[in-house]
Amino acid sequence: MNSIRRHLTGRLLLGCLLLLGTGGAAICLFARAVLLNEFDGSLQTAAAALTDLTKQTRQVEFAIPLDVAPSAPPPQTSHFFEFWLADGRMLKRSPSLGAADLPFRADSHAGPQYWNLTLPNGAPGRAVAMKYVPSVEKHGKHRTLTPVEVVLVVARDRGALDRTIRSLIGVLALGVVLLSAGIVGIVRLAVRRGLAPLEKVAVQTAAIDATSLQLRFPTDVPAELLPIVARLNEFLARIEESFTRERRFSADVAHELRTPIAELRLLADVALKWPHDANATKRAFQDTLDAARQMELMVTGLLTLARCEANREPGISEPVIIAHLVGEIWGPLAEKASVKKLAVTFDIPAQIQFATEPTMFRAILANLLDNAVEYSPEAGDVRIEAREDGGSFALSISNTAKNLSAEDIEHLFERFWRKDSARSDGRHSGLGLSLTRAFAEQLGVSIQASLGDSSNLIMRIAKDTGISRCSPIVHPPGVPIPAQAGVVSVGVGTA
Amino acid sequence: MRVLVVEDAPRLQYSIAQALRKAGYAADVASNGSDGLWLAETHDYDTIILDLMLPQMDGLTVLRRLREQGRNNPVLILTAKDTVADRVRGLQMGADDYLIKPFALEELLARVQALCRRSYGHKDSRIVIGDLEIDTAAKTVRRASQPVELARREYALLEYLALRRGEVVSRTEIEAHLYDSEAEPFANVVDSAICVLRKKICPDDAPQIISTRRGLGYVIESP
């Protein structure tokens, strides 16, 4: 499995060990070069001392004081030298060579030549070869001496140098190994420490299930993790809210269905227990039908709400003439308003029209108007007004509502919320305003409830764009134009 | 036995009251908490069936008010609230029983029966007075092992007197416990009911077990 820790550890270790290895090798090579250079320098110094002491005394005769050869080495010394003429004739050799020869190198014109070799005593050595012209003794008869070239090879045992280089390599290798071990430890520790917050978040995330949605990730995490943790917390809050809402919803539905189910069951129980009471049985059937209708109303409402919340696309928009629509919806409500002696005011300019999906928009208005009539007390006020102002549209429906508090307003749109926390007569499912809001959201229209100054509930639906002035208005045939369209009229229970 | 039903769902309220009346109870109804409380304060109900989610005043408040006034009428909470916390709260507030909607009619009747019986200190569903045997569960009466056919209200009267055996029960008490607001008892309804009951349970040769205490009421006891 792909693992950040393994990946990171692997890359870091590879990088560190490569650097360490290269560094160690470079140090090693450099030190070897320095040591060799120094060794060669001392070889050259020894050779130079020998050349200084060499003098041409006669034609091809040289004074080479063996006893002053470098450091006056004893015969078994590790210092060796040998002189040749350029044509290869041996002139002199160091006593330490015995009868053996050093390799002759006549091609060292450019300067001293260094190379490794095996000494006559079998030990590894290093030699320098140089070609030079010795000075000529200047006295008497030897004035005509022609200078000749002499080849000198000086060799030395390089066992000590090899040992030093080997110890250096050994020390460096040991250092590299120790450092590598240290680096492995440090890298692993650092990676573990560095990834600890990530692993903590991972463990916490893995532990989250439907029962622990109230958990939140601590936000004292490294800056890199902060956006993740913040977003996770945000998601958790959202999921928790949605879970709570769903749980409450299921509970609400179950609770709301208990009463009609209890009614159905009791009606059947009573009818079965006392089957001979014809009147009671007839009423039981009527009540059964009513209870079934109430359940149907609720289930239909819930299904509509579910469909709406599933974000289905609203239908095709078309211009709706507000005054007409309100007139149509008000028709069936007028009688009830009249019975309740409501003072109804319409203030809807005739030219206002609104481009929207007509079925949902009608459902919104129908529900709000129905509520206004239903929940207004006897002789209360109902006021419906529409405004259009520079591309924004607003419609407000206000009705007298003496018992509502500011706290109630917050709950108005909740499913199954009712002022009295009690069931109504079964005509209302407790879903009307939830549906209204869901429809409004679907249509992109805002809907707000507020309490007016004179104990009245104001429902306001508004949209910023989508309104256009219709001019001239073509009234569709067969649609009655409400008398209130375009004028402000105040009437008692009339529409 | 007189029962108060406080329930705001109209169909449910009607069905419960109807079932109780058919089962031989006098039943009053209230559709909201305040009416329910007022009725409970003005009548001595043998059992109160109380919904919790009520308009105007919720059921638990009604219950608390009643208990604060020292009223010990048995209360059966009938509600859709089904969590353990809800039940515990209801019982802690002084309810005697708790039934969750939806419910079986037989269970409701049995629980109401048990609560009524217990309010008179009886746990056994059988009451035996001499050779008279009343089965309050089956609502049957036998005298000397012979079944006695009684009308609903006659049975209710006998059961009420039997539950208070040895006590003098006044006409007012009988009226208050056997007739609900829907019945309109005329002046001597209790006297005539007693008369009919005596004839049915005590034929000519049997000793009379219901005696009249002039000016006080009636008492049932072994002859």
Q: What is the pLDDT of residues A235-257, one digit of tens each?
A: 988 888 888 877 777 777 777 78
* CA distance readout (Å), A103 to A110, A121, A149, A165, A334: 18, 14, 17, 25, 132
Q: Which residues of A touch B103 (CB under 8 A)?
A: 262, 265-266
Site from A248, A257, A266 to mutate, B interface, most B CB atoms within 10 angstroms? A266
Q: Do A262 and B14 touch (CB under 8 A)?
A: no
pLDDT at B139 over 70: yes
Residues A427-456: what's their mean pLDDT?
A: 80
User: What's the whole-number mean pLDDT along residues A38-42?
Assistant: 92
Q: Identify the sign of the CA torsion A268, A270, A271, A275.
A: positive
Task: From residue A255, give the alpha-carbon distance in Å to each of A259, B16, B86.
Answer: 7, 19, 13
Output the pTM of the full model. 0.56
Give kind and range of the element (H or E) at residue A48.
helix A4-53
Could you tell me the end-to-end alpha-carbon distance of chain A, in angstroms, rounded to an integer?
Answer: 74
* C-alpha of A22 from chain center: 37
Q: Which of A394-408, A438-452, B54-68, B176-190 has the lowest mean pLDDT?
A: B176-190
Average pLDDT, chain B: 87
Question: Token digits for A332?
Answer: 């069936």
What confidence tier does A39 reach under pLDDT thresholds 50, 70, 90?
A: very high
> Which residue of chain A is at minimal alpha-carbon distance from B19?
A270
Q: Which residues of B touch A (CB under 8 A)?
A: 8-12, 14-16, 18-19, 22, 32, 53-56, 58, 80-82, 100-106
Residue A205 tokens read as: 């995330």
Residue A423 CA to its chain's centroid (Å): 49
Residue A78 has phi, psi (to 5 degrees) of -95, 5
CB A418 within 8 A of CB A430: yes
C-alpha B160/C-alpha B174 separation (Å) is 8
Rounded CA gap, A241 and A251, in Å? 15
Task: List CB contacts (< 8 A) between A264 and chain B.
Answer: 102
The chain A residue lying nearest B8, using CA atoms, is A423
pLDDT tens digits, B20-50: 998 889 999 999 899 999 999 998 899 999 9
A42-56, B7-21, B45-59: segment of lowest average pLDDT: A42-56
Contact A269 B22 (CB under 8 A): no
Q: What is the pLDDT of residue A65?
A: 60
Above pLDDT 70, what percent of chain B?
A: 97
pLDDT digits (tens, 9 = 90+) for A327-344: 888 888 888 888 988 888
Cα–Cα dist B28/B39, whole Å: 8
Closest CA to B33 of B1, B71, B2, B77: B77
Q: Tell me: pLDDT of A319 over 80.
A: yes
Confidence class for position A428, pLDDT limits 50, 70, 90: low
For residues B212 and B169, give the distance between their C-alpha atoms in angstroms, rounded to a whole number. 10
Higher per-residue pLDDT: A143 or B181? B181
Of A163, A236, A189, A178, the C-alpha closest to A8 is A189
A422 pLDDT tier (thresholds 50, 70, 90): very low
Instruction: Please answer yes or no on whether B18 and A270 come within 8 Å at the CB atom.
Output: yes
Which of B9, B55, B81 is opposite residue A263, by nearest beta carbon? B9
Element (H, E) at A255: helix A226-273
Query: Which residues of A are less than 8 Å from B10 in CB distance?
Result: 425-426
For the complex shown, is ipTM > 0.85? no
Q: Which residue has the higher pLDDT, A3 or B50?
A: B50
Q: Helix (H) and strand (E) counts for chain B?
A: 8, 11
Overall average pLDDT of the A145-166 stretch: 86
In DSSP terms, B128 is beta-bridged to: B133
Which residue of chain A is at minimal alpha-carbon distance from B56?
A: A420
Distance CA A156, CA A45 (A): 12
Inter-chain residue contact B19 with A422, CB threshold 8 Å: no
Cβ–Cβ of A262/B81 closer than 8 Å? no
Burial of A334 (0-12, 13-18, 19+ CB in 10 A): middle
Does the pLDDT of residue A263 top 80, yes or no? yes
Q: What is the mean pLDDT of chain A?
A: 80
pLDDT value of position A358? 81
Token pair in block for residue A47: 């050779």
The two tokens of residue B18 are: 């109807």
Alpha-helical runs (H) found in A274-385: 278-309, 322-339, 358-375
Contact A261 B101 (CB under 8 A): yes
What is the model's pLDDT at position B143? 85
| B64 pLDDT above the threshold of 90 | yes
pLDDT above 70 (res A160): yes
Q: Is B114's pLDDT higher than 70? A: yes
* Interface contact A266-B105, CB threshold 8 A: yes
